Structure 1
């Protein structure tokens, strides 16, 4: 049976896409790598939301606050659209989804954040009530396309049985999240970049892949990454001296210090009221501290930096239309798998902007996919479908029984996790790292097959290699420091490089500039 819309991914973006597609009258199936409602970064913790009342002054301030940080690569029209859509969707979550938002002392609702577990629990219930067919524990292995190259469904793996099944559809929404390279950052080990690989295999492009080096501060003994709390921190070197220049936002001094020894911190700048609010807002942040008998507000504890990659970076699949369509007919993107440059430019939106983007892009993609499916009609249901996947599925050479996905993942992690390669970037370190990654890709392309391991693990390994190559190719192409993409040998912003970078390709990776139009008053100063 062919469904109108197949949504891949069951986080916020995927569930909003499914809801909007179903509301438009489409038949919808949603497949999640884990369990829709409990897997992914949002379901693991609380998050802020870029929710701003429709007051012109407040909206202006909200948009202006990120423009310089992002290297003036954001788009005002998209920012305004996201603010409008997010405001409507959050109110819908409160009124239709009955999410229990808190109220302030005057009794007014406070809708600038949600508790992830409760938010996603309610989203799952809403999706099921909308008669969306939910396929849990069913990661997508590859997209299906027709003879014209249009998206036509996906091949999934049923983890319970290992079988591969085809789900034909008239349109596909990718909402599979970003890529955190199995760094163990909270809730992100399902985010291995599979969706972006599938999109590029089908013919899509990427944008902003140089803005993929987001690292979050975390206690050394846990994977909880709630970096906003470190704005209240004092950081210390191993000898007890304060680490100069380090802060929740300025992490370069932390990365440099960690290269030679431990770094400690204390959240001692929070007052009593702030401490109460922090415990209420992110209770899971404090669980491990309490179990270990550590008071993070008075005691020093060791910290580390965990790579969040394109989960908190802004790079992803390039958005070609206002409905979050891509350059592949019938393929739509939403959430972290899509570029967030449109609203954040080259600097992370953290949780709040990403949460707003997930709601908005998910809603647009779902509605767009439903309309595309309606226009296709029943005539496309009997079209021939082909698997679009390559590496790990259709090797170009002789399969190597000794080549394991875990070994390839280890190669990728050696090149992308170290701070001196991916965070403190320099061409002299990026070039040899990229050469190693190219070698790993060629090896996987030639000899990796599904018979060597679990299909989803094979494809996740391939996706991580692909992401690392796209990231470093784009990073080398941007010979300046703009947004998160900082180069030690090019420390300044270059007005001549005021453009977005489009990236694509599999066996051969390429980049090309894409001009950014800004009103004259907002041009980057020379």
Structure 2
């Protein structure tokens, strides 16, 4: 079927967040013709754009770097690799300095020098869009990819739809970079409702593998009346029951588990940021203005007034699992296909645990840069060529009527991944039950078809969420220990014999196999 818009490029980037924009910019700087397609508006959509974020920016001296690498090494279950941590720290240092040179308004420290350990999402992504556009990248906003195109030589482009006009698009490219973010399962966490695992689905359909999908059950504290998940601020919080008594253990390192157990028992939990020193409260407001907006609208002073909280699932957005990459070019096992940002596994730099920002922001900009370079070099080496490309969608995308049960599938997946007692507190029995139900759901999905004239975007989201959940739980049932954010109630301790990655593969059948972790040089 002829598409309304047909383009040819050296590199196609799917996703317009920090990873995608750094990838597009880098590929363009290497002389490649680049097209970037975004599900939303490049520069304003995704998890980074509406928020402030810390960045893993560390001066290049041995003492500082060693301390930085060890910071989350144990929390992540000793799965991070020294070579990758060094690579990302170096690239992030370079990229943050480049942002300063481009005019990003970093605050000044006491010595009058730019303080480069954080970024404000709106300013950051506005600048990235401007620089990417200036580099000659063609941007298609509100234009999600629906499926990859490939032939016997590998991936060679994608097709999609423009949401505002209904036009279809096709881009043939020498290389494709998936930078479409992670999957938060439509949990309403701020900036995450465009992050539904679309890139995972497309990669799996092309034959890519995944790594660390058991580390994809991240939950973040949020007021019940807000979508903002800035858990770092709750280090200043006291937690209370409705009667005003303290929730013991809620403020500890295992506090989220304590809170989750109480909420799952139907007990309301409240917080107040009463431990924040008076002198830093103005700074907290400046650094995360969107955190305070919902409170201000309701006339709540979060430093003095108690407010009810919940835990919102952020899945792989703040988890560490994702598409497996094979080397520093960020290529996957599939020829012509690259991955970056939350779409790619972040185990390499933080193992099985990461918080908000920091490592995540560093990984986005550095992996995007590396992918842009790798994809550009590959495309220029192989060319676009005249190829007989076919769509890879696991569910046929057709013209005409379709009765695809999108809403039903979304609800069914959320019933498995959102409850704390299924996804946070895992057991063999619960995981097996979820896997069986999700497998049945997948079989039903595979018997359907998606109409390009219907809401194909939402339909593909439901397919992507289903596949993501299946990889998560299949990896989780195979890791019979507690490591990183993966918690097994039936195996509550870390097991030295399971010090390996879990690689998951497949669509209809999910297989899981261990992969050794390279020796961590920082322990020598």
Short-chain TM bin:
over 0.9
Contact kept? 1:392, 1:458, Cα under 8 Å:
no
- Equivalent residue of 1:501, what SS? strand
Deviation at 1:166, TM superposition (A): 1.2
Matches within 5 A, 1:495-506: 495-506=496-507
Quote the residue 1:197 is aligned against.
201
Q: CA deviation at 1:446?
A: 0.8
Does structure 2 conserve the Cα–Cα contact (< 8 Å) formed by 1:102 and 1:109? Answer: yes
Aligned to 1:154, what secondary structure does the other structure show? strand
Q: Deviations over 1:194-238 (max 9, x none)?
A: 001101110100000000000000001010001100000111123
- Cα distance change on mapping 1:349 and 1:84 into 2, 3 Å: farther
Task: Please point out which of 127, 146, 162 is paired with 1:141.
Answer: 146
Structure 1 CA distance, aligned partners of 2:453 and 2:517? 45
What TM-score does the superposition give when structure 1 sets the normalisation length? 0.96
User: Deviation of residue 391 (structure 1)?
Assistant: 2.4
Aligned to 1:77: 83
Equivalent in the alignment of 1:158: 162
Residue 432 of structure 1: CA displacement?
A: 1.1
Indicate the SS of the match to 2:49.
helix
Please give the per-residue CA displacement for 1:348-400, whole angstroms capped at 9, x wherever unaligned: 242111100011000000011110011013xx4211111111125389xxx99
CA drift at 1:521: 7.8
Contact 1:392 1:462 in 2 (8 A): no
Aligned counterparts of 2:253 and 2:139: Cα–Cα separation in 1: 39
Structure 2 SS opposite 1:472? helix
Query: For residue 108 of structure 1, what is the aligned residue in structure 2?
Result: 113
1:478 equivalent in alignment to 2:497 = no
Correspondence 1:47 to 2:48: no
Indicate whether 1:317 and 2:318 are aligned: no
TM-score, scaled to structure 2: 0.96
2:243 alignment partner in structure 1 = 239
1:328/1:247 CA distance change after superposition, 3 Å: same
- Which aligned runs of 4 or more in structure 1 are off by greater than 6 angstroms? none
Kept in 2: contact 1:499–1:515 (CA 8 A): yes
Q: Is the 8 A contact 2:81 2:520 kept in 1?
A: no
Among 271, 275, 279, the alignment partner of 1:273 is 279
Cα-to-partner distance string for 1:401-448 (whole Å, 9 max, x where unaligned): 544211100000011111111111122222112211111111001124
Shift of 1:245: 1.0
1:36 deviates by 0.2
Q: Is the 8 Å Cα contact of residues 315 and 339 (structure 1) preserved in structure 2? A: yes
Q: How far apart in 1 are the matches of 2:87 and 2:522?
A: 21
- The CA deviation at 1:451 is 5.6
SS of equivalent residue, structure 1 residue 29: strand
The answer for the alignment partner of 1:99 in structure 2 is 104
Secondary structure in 2 matching 1:67: coil
Q: Structure 2 CA distance, aligned partners of 1:145 and 1:470? A: 23
In the alignment, the residues of structure 2 paired with residue 442 and residue 400 of structure 1 have an alpha-carbon distance, to the nearest angstrom, of 21
Deviates more, 1:251-260 or 1:342-351: 342-351
- Look up the SS of the partner of 1:389 in the other structure: coil
C-alpha spacing 1:93/1:17, structure 2 compared with 1 (3 Å): same
The answer for unaligned runs of 5 or more in structure 2 is 1-6
Structure 1 alignment gaps of length 5 or more: none
How many Å separate the matches in 1 of 2:125 and 2:258?
36
What SS class does the counterpart of residue 313 from structure 1 fall into? coil
SS at match of 1:40: coil
Mapped contact 1:201–1:389 kept (Cα < 8 A): yes
Q: Helix, strand or coil for the counterpart of 1:304? A: strand
Q: Is the 8 A contact 2:401 2:454 kept in 1?
A: no
Give yes or no for contact 1:237–1:257 (8 Å, CA) kept in 2. no
- Deviation track 1:461-483 (CA, whole Å, cap 9, x = no partner) reads 00000001100011100000000
**2:4 — aligned with what?**
none
Structure 2 distance, partners of 1:319, 1:82, is 14
Mapping 1:2-401, distance limit 5 Å: 2-95=8-101, 97-148=102-153, 150-247=154-251, 249-250=253-254, 251-259=256-264, 260-377=266-383, 380-391=384-395, 393=397, 401=402
Check conservation: 1:317, 1:337, Cα contact below 8 A. Answer: yes
CA-based RMSD = 1.6
Distance of aligned partners of 1:451 and 1:334 in 2 relative to their CA distance in 1, 3 Å threshold: closer
Partner SS, residue 284 of structure 1: helix
| Counterparts of 1:511 and 1:392, CA distance in 2 | 27
SS at match of 2:515: strand
Comparing 19-28 with 449-458, which one deviates more in the overlay?
Answer: 449-458
CA distance in 1, matches of 2:221, 2:191: 15
Q: Secondary structure at the match of 2:330?
A: coil
Secondary structure in 1 aligned to 2:357? Answer: helix
